[in-house]
Structure formats: C-alpha cells, structure tokens
Amino acid sequence: MNLRASRLLTGISLAFAALVTCGAADPAPASTGPNLRFQARPDGSFVFNTGTLRGVVRTQGKSVGLQEVYYLPTKQRLDRSMGLLGHYRVFSQGKRYGTGAWDWPSTAQILDDGTLITQWAAGDDRPFELRAAYRWRNPSTLDVETMVRAQADLPAFECFLASYFAPHFSQASIAVGSAPGTEGVPQWLRADRAAGDWQIFPRDSDVLRLIQDGRWKLEPNPVAWVVRPSFDVPMARRRSPNTGLSAILMAPAAECFALSTPHETEEHNSTYLSLFGINLKPGVSARARVRLVIAVAKSDPAVRADYDKANADWAKDFQLP
C-alpha cells in the first residue's frame, strides 16, 4: 500500500459525509419548489429537483444510482441504463462479491438536512457493511460518500462506482497532467477508440498489481483493460460536443486509485471510479468521496478551481448519527 492510500485510514470512523441523489423525469413536484433535498415518494423511491437537475433514485426499491436525470435549462437527459453514481462491482483480492452492489437488498432514509443515506447490510456472502450518503452542494454539484466497515480481512478492497451517460455525452477524457505553461490546469486525454475498447488510467504504477491481480477476469462480464497513462488528479469528464454540457467526476487522490471508461463512443457511455484499494482488517472502517459537477462550457481553469473547492469541502467531516 503506498503512502497516499495509507492516508485514507487516518482518522476514519463510522461517520461519513452525506449527499443528495436522484429524481425522476417528471417527479411529483416538491411542495416548496426546487431545493437541495431528496424527498420520499409513497412508492418508496426518492426524487430531487434542485432547479438545475431533476431525477429519481431507488425505483423498485433498488439502489442502482441516479436515474431519469434531466438538466432542466435545456431539458437534456444525462443518464441511461443503470444511471449515475451507482455502486457496481465490489472486490477484494481474489474475490468478487456477487454481480454488483445494486443487486443486494438495501435500505434508505433521508436525514433532516435532506441527505439520502443508503445502506447494505453484511451477509454470508459479503463480510462487510456498505453505506452511501448523497448530498447536494449546490444545484449542479452532488457529493457521494461511500463507507465500508469490514467484518473479515479484506485485502485490496475495491468498490467500483459506475456512471452511465446518455448517448450525446460522446466525448470522454481523463486529466493526465497540467496544460503546457500552466500550474494545475488539467490536460485532458481523450479515450479514443484507437487506444483500445476498455481503458483504465491508474493513479500510479504501484496500483497496477491490484488492477492486474485477476479480479477483472472473474465472471460475469470480465474486462480486459488497456492500461493508459496515469492520471494527474482523479478527474474524468464526459462531454456533449453539440451543447458543451459536461459531467465532471472527481475524488480525493488517496481514495480513488483508478479511472476507467470504454472508448468514448462505445454504447455503454460509461465512466468508472475504482475506490479504496486498501487492506482492511475486521472492525476497521474506511470512506471514499466522489463529486459530480454538471456544467456548460466550463473552462479548464474553472474545472481545476472546482477540484480545489471539492478538496476544501471534503476536509470538513460529516458525522452520521
């Protein structure tokens, strides 16, 4: 485990940051109008309408991700398939826990501040508790924090966070360095088809042993990743070239060890973050944070400012009751 990954274990407790999540294409309008809260519906799902984004989460009682998400100024749909920011594959070394977390039974509740909490209990086939908190930071910015508490040894634990975008988000890129003549402004590398069908951008060479330890050969749907350059900071972007609408995913460097995507026009239209990548002992907890920012024609310096703002926000711990 390298130094950055080891920092993740410092000061971690069962408390972890909350966030807000999804809503339906035409959810029942909130009585108070747009706001930064999730709201429950009688069918057990939850909706949100921030005034900029609207959608639904937990339709049919499953914690899949944010679905039927619309950017309200232009009425563009953002998601497809299994939605945005859904917890998918979960691994430890030599072990895959089921097909995906979205198939496991889960419960959900809304905190007083409008944060949505989802929880997956431990089971005979998964010796850990998993929780996620979704919270809106502003009408176009959502944080999701994932917490794991181990009940057995979990070497090289990974939670694979998945987002599936609408087909018009046909440009995918990863921040692999700083633009020439700048300090910290991201230089984006496109996930061109010529580079391979399925592409992974590691944090550094140390994590390749984890990525290549055989976990991605485990059924169902094994993946043969093509290793691309290391990312500079963990930021990935999906962009709609016709409108300039972008979805930017970011995470703390110590809590995300790889970013991945199929080539940018492959039909999944997906982007993934490999979270944790650490060894956990029974009784030990860890957390990983991710932020989604939706914006139109945002400049690269502004994107970097968003990342710096995220790090400042993540430094303020949220205590789960």
% of the chain with per-residue pLDDT over 70: 88
Asked if pLDDT for residue 2 goes beyond 70, the answer is no
pLDDT at 17: 33
Average pLDDT of the segment spanning 229-257 = 96
Average pLDDT of the segment spanning 85-114 = 96
Structure pTM? 0.89
Average pLDDT, the chain: 89
% of the chain with per-residue pLDDT over 90: 83
Asked if pLDDT for residue 8 goes beyond 60, the answer is no
Average pLDDT of the segment spanning 114-126 = 96
Q: Which amino acid is at 108?
A: A
Q: Which amino acid is at 144?
A: V
Asked if pLDDT for residue 188 goes beyond 60, the answer is yes
Asked if pLDDT for residue 29 goes beyond 60, the answer is no
Out of 31-45, 53-67, 84-98, 234-248, pick the least confident: 31-45
* CATH topology (fold) of 3-314: Beta-galactosidase; Chain A, domain 5 (2.70.98)
Higher-confidence residue of 19 and 62: namely 62
- Note the pLDDT tens digit of each residue in 283-298: 999 999 999 999 998 9
Higher-confidence residue of 179 and 260: namely 260
Out of 55-69, 150-164, 207-221, pick the least confident: 55-69
pLDDT at 317: 63
pLDDT at 59: 86
Entry field: residues in the chain? 321
pLDDT at 64: 92
Q: What residues does each domain of the chain span?
A: 3-314
